[in-house]
Amino acid sequence: MTEKEKMLRGEYYDPQDATLVHLRENAQNLMNQYNHPHGEDKGRLLDMLFGYHAEGLSIRAPFYCDYGINIKVGRNFYANYNCVFLDVARITIGDDVFFGPNVSVITVNHPIDPIKRRQGLEYAEEIRIGDNVWIGADVTVNPGVTIGDNAVIGSGAVVVKDVPANVVAAGNPCKVIRTIEPGRE
């Protein structure tokens, strides 16, 4: 099994594998162009980075990611300035989702075991974000988290566990504050 296959399966993998280094360098090149104030067509660069065209996509530069190809966004996704997507595993984001500035979506993790950590191994867990979600400024979404449809995540939250649909959640660690009644708020 290749290191890329291990990475995508959530197993320990070597991030210094030549194929993975090449893929990250390609993403870095595209991001450098995207983040340059007078860069090329930003929509085309995102299409190249993600490997597909997302309808209504708007991401304010600067924007950073590891690979780009592991990010799947739905229609009308908006991310404000300085968002970071460490997409070692898949990041799936639904339709009509809004991110405030400085949001970090982190799929990669390092081993707890110091021997494995010294070996330079990593692993990753997929993140899923539903439709109609609003994530406030300075939020960190940790590996393996699912955020349900219509959820609102308050600024500064650190999301370490799944957040159900139709709730407002905030804090460190992020906790549900109240439910949302769609159409009544």
Whether 39 shows a pLDDT value over 70: the answer reads no
Distance between CA 88 and CA 6 in Å, rounded?
11
Q: Under CATH, what is the fold of the domain 3-179?
A: UDP N-Acetylglucosamine Acyltransferase; domain 1 (2.160.10)
User: What are the backbone dihedrals phi and psi of residue 144, each rounded to the nearest 5 degrees, phi first?
Assistant: 80, 5
Please write the tens of the pLDDT for every residue from 69-79: 999 999 999 99
Report which of 179, 172, 175, 181 is spatially closest to residue 163, judged by C-alpha positions. Answer: 175
**Taking a C-beta distance cutoff of 8 angstroms, is the pair 48, 41 a contact?**
no
Whether 150 shows a pLDDT value over 90: the answer reads yes
Distances, alpha carbon 47 to alpha carbons 130, 148, 184, in Å: 21, 26, 37
Q: Note if 110 is an active site residue.
A: yes
3-class SS letters over 3-30: HHHHHHCCCCECCCCHHHHHHHHHHHHH
Report which of 103, 69, 108 is spatially closest to residue 86, judged by C-alpha positions. Answer: 108
**Catalytic residue from among 22, 36, 53, 110:** 110
> What residue ranges do the domains of the chain occupy?
3-179
Confidence of residue 182 (pLDDT cuts 50, 70, 90): confident
pTM above 0.85, yes or no: yes
Average pLDDT, whole number, for the chain? 95
**Taking a C-beta distance cutoff of 8 angstroms, is the pair 155, 100 a contact?**
yes
**Tokens 């898949």, residue?**
90
